[in-house]
Structure 1
């Protein structure tokens, strides 16, 4: 059966020529558990997070700064670090 002209035109549109690819960790196309993820770490100094995942605060991008300032409970993190040292 011959396809209509409408479908032939739609198939030529760039949006319809996209394809799906699998995970590609080397290029950052992976959601979680990349072999290139940094080792998790948090350092707190006077109630301020000064290092995340091996990056100093002056190297933080906007997302790192938001996470450090608003997403991490510093007092809970300090207790967790103390617990790990005790264990």
Structure 2
């Protein structure tokens, strides 16, 4: 990591400060484009596999859902802080 390269997020050990820093400072994930069924069928095999992997990663890391309970919790935390 000393060479300035960015490690793959899947290989980080978040218990190490260097890896946590790399994780925290990494760019936000970008949502894959939404494709129609026709567009999906026209993708070459490797491109379709790449697209499917990107979609799986996107949905696996969706983050917290802002429910009314979460909003209320955040308001309470801001009052405390």
Say yes or no: TM over 0.5.
no
Which of these two proteins has the greater Rg computed from alpha carbons?
A: 1
Higher relative contact order (CA 8 A, sep 6+): 2
Higher share of residues assigned strand: 1
Question: TM-score scaled by structure 2?
Answer: 0.30
TM-score scaled by length of structure 1: 0.29
